[in-house]
Copies of this chain bind each other. A is one copy, B any other.
């Protein structure tokens, strides 16, 4: 599907589901960006879910989002159960404005929903020559170290910084070995997931995506990944006043109420301390790239390079949508 056509269709759908035109555009932009960077698990495959949640009144299409000023640098957003994209958009834009003025900004968001890719918000800050850290919690997916039941979300850690080139440094990784969105997409398209990434509900290893969704995703690096996921839950859930410790609702399966996801954004100027950040990070990246490589590796990529390549490539063409998802899409 052509990008412009897709954009128009998405806006039309969200407006039909009672979002304002401005909010519909925010959602459409975020979803198309996910498709363009190759993260289709966070793209159109989720549109039906968002619409279903609006229909069941667990996403508020006309939220009264409250922005509370705590200091010139610190703000708190009560998203009033908006679709996550809209709350996150308001928060990151405020964080950028505040960091430009004071050097640094810290913004917590409560009563929000799934906001798509963290890297999308980091990128907005980078475009204004800022560094960003973005955290969000998510419904249960990872078993805490020592437990056999999922409780932490995939709880991504995202860090973005400007570089000397057009390609920003964006690290954006979930604390599970495999991304939950990828398992969902595999379940929908009936493809297998890699070995050793998930257990079924009985605690047995599985490559069946549907069984994995009912079971447990394994955290990266044992207690370390478990600890990092816990940290993200505290920063984005406990600190902001959102739900946490397994209480965030699964957007696909649980319509008993709003998700109540929490996010935390930290944004600051790269030249706060010593200036010449772009020159310094240029040297940093150059030295890493010049290292001897392992067999089969021709270039050491920094986080964000692959996404940028896919983005550039996809911008020229059309967006491929799997048949099952296209059908959902047409029904909306």
Interface residues of A (CB under 8 A from B): 70-71, 73-74, 76, 102-104, 106, 108, 110, 131, 143-149, 151, 157, 159, 161, 169, 171, 173, 177, 203, 220-221, 223-225, 227-228, 230-231, 233-235, 237-241, 244-247, 266, 268, 270, 272-274, 277, 280-281, 283-285, 287-288, 291-294, 297, 299-303
Contacts and interface: CB of A to CB of B under 8 A. Distances in A.
A131 B235 CA distance: 10
Nearest to A144: B288
Contacts of A223: 173, 303
B74 A244 contact: no
Identical chains in the assembly: 2
A177 B225 CA distance: 11
A143 B203 CA distance: 33
B240 A171 contact: no
A200 to B, nearest CB: 15
B106 A104 contact: yes
A180 to B, nearest CB: 15
A288 B103 contact: no
Contact of A245 (B144, B146, B149, B283): B283
